[in-house]
Amino acid sequence: MKQLFLKYKSVVKFILTFLLVYTILTFSYKLLLQYSTGARFYPEYMTNLVAKQSKAMLEALDYRVQIIPHPDEASLKLIINEKYVARVVEGCNSVSIIILFVSFIIAFAGKFKTTAIYILAGSVLIYSVNLVRIVILSIGLYHYPWRKDILHTVIFPAIIYGMVCLLWVVWVNRFSKINTKHA
């Protein structure tokens, strides 16, 4: 058993580090959700922010946009030109994807400064691409509502998760300590 552990030490370390960081960040985020819910930022701060920024981007593209609280659930209704096209829920704010991204990068950490910069840059990129994703999805749902299923469940998740995987591959191949050991 000891030989097996020694042989796969780096794999075990990666898994344990990933799970620890993921658990801590997820628990911290759940606490943030619990304490940031209220009338000022409905349904909570990050989702509210994403909805407002998506609205601003859509308005810059010359759409008339409203975001109003959903009467039956913790979400915001996104209305384009008087047509209800989407609801912005907690899962739309990209925080859970960023937590996944950060956990992986820390589990494959490189030099501290490089790791910190990559986490910051990657998180900003994920957040920004997510905003663009919501805007394009909203426009798609406005103009092509019959394409809702393929747009929301296939194309746009593939874009955001594909980008995260690409960021991971770049990290492992260019910056992580694991790569420097084999160079």
Q: Is this structure's pTM higher than 0.85?
A: yes
Q: What pLDDT score was predicted for residue 141?
A: 94
What tokens were used for 53? 């920024």
Contact 65, 55 (CB under 8 A): yes
Whole-number percent of the chain with pLDDT over 90: 65
- Hey, is 93 helix, strand or coil? coil
Q: Domain residue spans in the chain?
A: 2-178
Q: Residue range 63-92: average pLDDT?
A: 93
How sure is the predictor about 102, in pLDDT bands with cuts at 50, 70 and 90?
A: very high
Backbone region of residue 62 per phi and psi (left: phi > 0; alpha: psi in -120 to 50; beta: other values): left
How sure is the predictor about 182, in pLDDT bands with cuts at 50, 70 and 90?
A: very low
The average confidence (pLDDT) of the chain is 90
State how far the Cα of 160 lies from the Cα of 97, in Å rounded to an integer. Answer: 9
State how far the Cα of 63 lies from the Cα of 73, in Å rounded to an integer. Answer: 25
What tokens were used for 54? 């998506």
How sure is the predictor about 183, in pLDDT bands with cuts at 50, 70 and 90?
A: very low
